[in-house]
């Protein structure tokens, strides 16, 4: 598995690289800040680890550029531990956010869980059966392209957003607990902040709203979420 790693702390970069390579990951570090996107395209990594505190442009800037072209899993490393920064990172498309200082074993567990989830995701059928069942309402959840289509409008989804919608659409009218969603989306919930799910659900609702679908998902406070269906 190839990992692309961008970190401006030379000692930390070397430590993490050597640690991951000991677990048979092929780690490529980005040393030229002017060639970040060029390296992303050249390496075609399975996962990207991105520091936020970088010279010239911060990691959020590069995260935006990456998400415009690629769906590669991204883990953010940052000393910025406040909630707002973590939410910003997730909203920009990061798959996980790890705050410094951190235990290297936890980072490895997160990497393995994320890569395992991505590989399992490839085995999902090309189009959700329940999406076909919603055809009369013109809503399609497309697995091959990870898009949501409604009445001629198409919007891109992240892997987490797609998995959440797939789960909810397969259980229309049923309350899905937060724990059930966490278990379905993240393999190891021990390392998942509950706020991460809240951020992802907010993004899902926003994308449905962008397509003109409002109030389709109801939050059952303290319990979970329910997809109510679409009212034309």
Percent residues over pLDDT 70 in the chain: 87
Q: In the structure, what pLDDT confidence band is assigned to residue 184 with cuts at 50, 70 and 90? A: confident
What are the DSSP calls for 155-201, one per residue?
EE--HHHHHHHHHHHTTTTSEEEHHHHHHHH-S-GGG--HHHHHHHH
Residue 33 DSSP label: G
What length does the chain have? 232
Phi, psi of 226 (to 5 degrees): -140, 135
Question: What is residue 47's three-state secondary structure?
Answer: strand
Q: In the structure, what pLDDT confidence band is assigned to residue 4 with cuts at 50, 70 and 90? A: very high
Is residue 134 located within the same domain as residue 99?
Answer: no
Residue 80 lies in a domain: yes
Q: Would you state the structure tokens that stand for residue 166, as one six-digit string?
A: 């797939």
Residue 232 lies in a domain: no
Q: In the structure, what pLDDT confidence band is assigned to residue 130 with cuts at 50, 70 and 90? A: very low
Is residue 110 located within the same domain as residue 150?
Answer: no
Higher-scoring residue by pLDDT: 130, 68: 68
Check residue 104 and give its pLDDT: 93
Domain count, the chain: 2
Sort 157 into a burial class: Cβ within 10 Å, 0-12 / 13-18 / 19+.
buried
- Mean pLDDT across the stretch 181-210? 78
- Mean pLDDT across the stretch 196-211? 90
Q: Which of the listed residues 102, 121, 140 is the one where a domain comes to its end?
A: 121
Is residue 139 located within the same domain as residue 109?
Answer: no
Is residue 172 located within the same domain as residue 111?
Answer: no
Q: pTM to 2 decimals?
A: 0.57
User: Each residue of 148-162: pLDDT tens digit?
Assistant: 888 878 899 888 888
Q: Which residues are bridge partners to 77 per DSSP?
A: 51, 98
Is residue 77 located within the same domain as residue 107?
Answer: yes
Check residue 16 and give its pLDDT: 94
- Mean pLDDT across the stretch 113-118? 84
Percent residues over pLDDT 90 in the chain: 31
- Mean pLDDT across the stretch 110-118? 87
Q: Which residues are bridge partners to 5 per DSSP?
A: 29, 49
Is residue 95 located within the same domain as residue 136?
Answer: no
Is residue 98 located within the same domain as residue 151?
Answer: no
Is residue 38 located within the same domain as residue 85?
Answer: yes
- Mean pLDDT across the stretch 144-150? 82
Is residue 90 located within the same domain as residue 13?
Answer: yes
Q: Which of the listed residues 93, 121, 149 is the one where a domain comes to its end?
A: 121
- Mean pLDDT across the stretch 54-71? 85
Q: Which of the listed residues 63, 89, 121 is the one where a domain comes to its end?
A: 121
Residue 210 lies in a domain: yes
Kindly tell me if the per-residue pLDDT of 169 is higher than 50.
Answer: yes
Check residue 206 and give its pLDDT: 92
Is residue 143 located within the same domain as residue 160?
Answer: yes
Is residue 155 located within the same domain as residue 57?
Answer: no
Which residue range forms the structural domain that includes residue 17?
2-121
Give the mean pLDDT of the chain.
83
CATH code where residue 28 lies: 3.40.50.2300
């Amino acid at each position: 598995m190839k990992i692309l790693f961008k970190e401006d702390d030379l000692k930390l970069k070397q430590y993490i690289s050597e640690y991951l390579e000991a677990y048979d990951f092929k780690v490529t570090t980005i040393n030229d800040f002017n060639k970040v996107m060029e390296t992303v395209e050249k390496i075609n990594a399975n996962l990207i680890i991105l520091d936020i505190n970088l010279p010239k442009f911060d990691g959020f800037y590069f995260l935006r550029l990456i998400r415009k072209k690629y769906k590669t899993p991204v883990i953010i490393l940052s000393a910025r531990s406040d909630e707002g920064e973590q939410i910003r990172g997730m909203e920009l498309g990061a798959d996980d956010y790890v705050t410094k200082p951190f235990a290297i074993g936890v980072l490895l567990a997160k990497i393995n869980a994320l890569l395992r989830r991505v590989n399992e995701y490839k085995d999902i059928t090309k189009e959700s059966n329940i999406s076909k069942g919603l055809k009369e309402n013109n809503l399609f959840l497309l697995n091959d392209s990870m898009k949501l289509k409604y009445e001629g409008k198409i919007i891109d989804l992240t892997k987490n957003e797609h998995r959440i919608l797939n789960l909810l659409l397969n259980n229309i009218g049923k309350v899905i607990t937060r724990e059930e969603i966490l278990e379905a989306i993240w393999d190891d919930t021990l390392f998942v902040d509950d706020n991460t799910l809240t951020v992802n659900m907010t993004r899902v609702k926003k994308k449905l709203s962008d397509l003109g679908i409002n109030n389709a998902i109801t939050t059952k406070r303290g319990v979970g979420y329910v997809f109510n269906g679409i009212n034309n």
